[in-house]
Amino acid sequence: MSEQRYFLKLSYKGTHFFGWQIQPNAITVQECIGDALKKINRANAVKITGCGRTDTGVHATEFYAHFEMNTDWDDETFAYKLNCMLPAEIAIQSVFKVPEDVHSRFSATSRTYHYFIHKEKNPFLNETSWLVRHELDLERMNAACQMLINHKNFKCFSKTITGISSFKCDVTEAQWTKTPEGYRFTIQANRFLRNMVRAIVGTMVEIGTHKIDLKEFQQILDSQERSRAGQSVPPQGLFLVKVDYDNDKNCIA
């Protein structure tokens, strides 16, 4: 009997994890789920593939992963069993079967991230937002967002050593909005480079505090040099909030 491919829909608080991907001598989300699946699979290791990688301290309110396995459990029971085995920081929303050619990463058509900033010291936001006491000029920052949407090469916001050959991304949404605590940045694209969102936010804050203007921002985009862009902001304010798939191909339920 051939194994069935399953998708997991899950969320996690990344504060105490060293990101999604398994790495030596560090606890990760992928490792925790893999260990739980191994127990369910009678001690046989199960390879699990995520829809992307999140860095240490980054969160996800919507994340997908796939794996192959044989089980007689219905999907609801499968999700319940997994949740019983996982720490409180990881929650499985659903488990469901997909065609064998559907891939959690490569079948995704877009991803959306939020980054949260709060303006006043708040002990309840320390792990999910970044404290910036300055008032930010959202009009200037949203003008810069439009420049992002019109741009294609984002090498200036990427880690310098990545092993990738293309820095092209199609950004379809970028916007700053006010929240009761401060500000939220929303960005959607077909793909993201390593550290891209955090580098964009750091540069945007420099625009919002009038340290650089829009002309200088365009020069940073055109330069393709990471050293020209702003700092990489702390990870705790970053959330992966949505992953889209091609429903016409019945990618996900």
Catalytic (active-site) positions: 55
Q: Return the amino acid letter for 62.
A: E
What DSSP string describes the chain?
A: -PPEEEEEEEEE--TTSS-SS-BTTB--HHHHHHHHHHHHTTT-----EESS---TT-EEEEEEEEEEE---S-HHHHHHHHHHHS-TTEEEEEEEE--TT--TTTTEEEEEEEEEEESS--TTTTTT-EE--S---HHHHHHHHHHHHT--B-GGGS-S----S--B--EEEEEEEE-SSEEEEEEEES---TTHHHHHHHHHHHHHTTSS-HHHHHHHHHHT-GGGS-PPPPGGGEEEEEEEE-GGGT---
